[in-house]
Amino acid sequence: MFIFNRLNRVFILLITLAFLTGFNAHNKTKSSSLNTKKTPDLGVQSNLDEINQLNITIFPDGKNLPKGNGSVEEGEVIFKMKCAACHGANGNGGIIKVPLVGGENTLHTKKPIKTVGSYWPYATTLFDYVRRTMPYNAPQTLTNDEVYALCAYLLNKNNIIKHDVVMNKKTLAEVKMPNSQGFINSYLTKRKNSKQKQEIK
Ligand code: HEC
């Protein structure tokens, strides 16, 4: 019994030692790999081409607008084919009740109608939105010329540009929207406030 107990204890000691040294070794490799590797080895690095494909943001001032152009008439044809089924024949809301046209002078009323014409502060955003998301069932299938034409059509339907004005990177950025002064820049206000707080300190 005595011998068995001793053997048993030696055995347990050996196992504990093995475990501890193993554990230590494991920890060492782990910490050394942490020191040398800067990434967790997940995924693959994107190349510039892939990044550029996703980087399609158009800025309010027109920065990043691509080459191309489109007329009101061209836009009307595309709108009938690819947009009217949802937004209605003249962009008046259709089955989904999302109007793109109308709503002038309703923003201050009890029933504001927010459309591209009545609400949106920049025409450049229209290009970004349509190219990025529409048609809803097939986003990013429109060519840049088609998007310019659709912008021309919708801006004309909202009485913001004349029928013969062609939209391109220059003319679209120059369009002044009726509600361009209807927004405040909350980031700017926050920055100003925090500056004031710093000055008080
Ligand atoms: C399958 C239906 C469908 C089709 C087709 C479609 N849209 Fe839309 N569209 C929507 C829906 C739904 C919304 C609202 C999305 C939201 O608010 O998240 C929307 C929103 C919009 C808006 C933003 C409206 C606003 O004031 O917020 C614009 C602009 C627009 N669509 C333009 C187009 C154009 C241009 C086409 C044709 C190329 C098109 N849509 C085709 C369903 C559609």
Q: What is the pLDDT of residues 114-156, one digit of tens each?
A: 999 999 999 999 999 999 999 999 999 999 999 999 999 999 9
Number of domains in the chain: 2
Q: pLDDT band for position 200 (50/70/90)?
A: very low
For residue 103, give the nearest of 116, 90, 94 by alpha carbon: 116
The closest-lying atom of ligand 1 relative to the alpha carbon of residue 79 is: 37
Based on the domain organization, do 22 and 63 belong to the same domain?
no
Best of 100, 101, 126, 127 for a ligand 1 pocket test (most atoms within 8 Å of beta carbon): 100
CATH number for the domain including 127?
1.10.760.10
How far does the centroid of ligand 1 lie from the alpha carbon of residue 90, in Å? 13
25 and 105 belong to one structural domain:
no
Q: Which of 101, 104, 85, 92 is nearest to 151 (CA)?
A: 101
Sign of CA dihedral 75, 81, 87, 90: positive
The first and second tokens of residue 140, run together, are 């990013």
Separation of alpha carbons 115 and 93, rounded Å: 10
**Domain span at residue 165?**
57-183
Q: For residue 39, is it within any domain?
A: no
71 with 24, same domain: the answer is: no
At 27 the pLDDT is 47
- Please choose, from the candidates 177, 172, 153, 144, the residue with its C-alpha nearest in 3D space to the C-alpha of residue 63: 172
Q: What's the mean per-residue pLDDT of the chain?
A: 86
Distance CA 70, CA 193 (A): 43
Q: Is residue 198 part of a domain?
A: no
Question: Which residues does ligand 1 sit against, CB inside 6 Å?
Answer: 82-83, 85-87, 96, 98, 100, 114-116, 129-130, 134-137, 150
In this structure, are 8 and 93 located in the same domain? no
The answer to whether residue 190 is domain-embedded is no
Q: How confident is the model at residue 38 (pLDDT cuts 50, 70, 90)?
A: confident
Residue 35 has pLDDT above 90, yes or no: no
Looking from the CA of residue 150, the nearest atom of ligand 1 is 35
Residue 19 lies in a domain: yes
18: in domain: yes
The 10s digit of each residue's pLDDT in 63-94 is 999 999 999 999 999 999 999 999 999 999 99
Distance from C-alpha of 184 to C-alpha of 170, rounded to nearest angstrom: 25
Percent of the chain with pLDDT over 70: 76
Q: Are residues 19 and 62 in the same domain?
A: no
Q: Is-contact 154 100, C-beta < 8 A?
A: yes
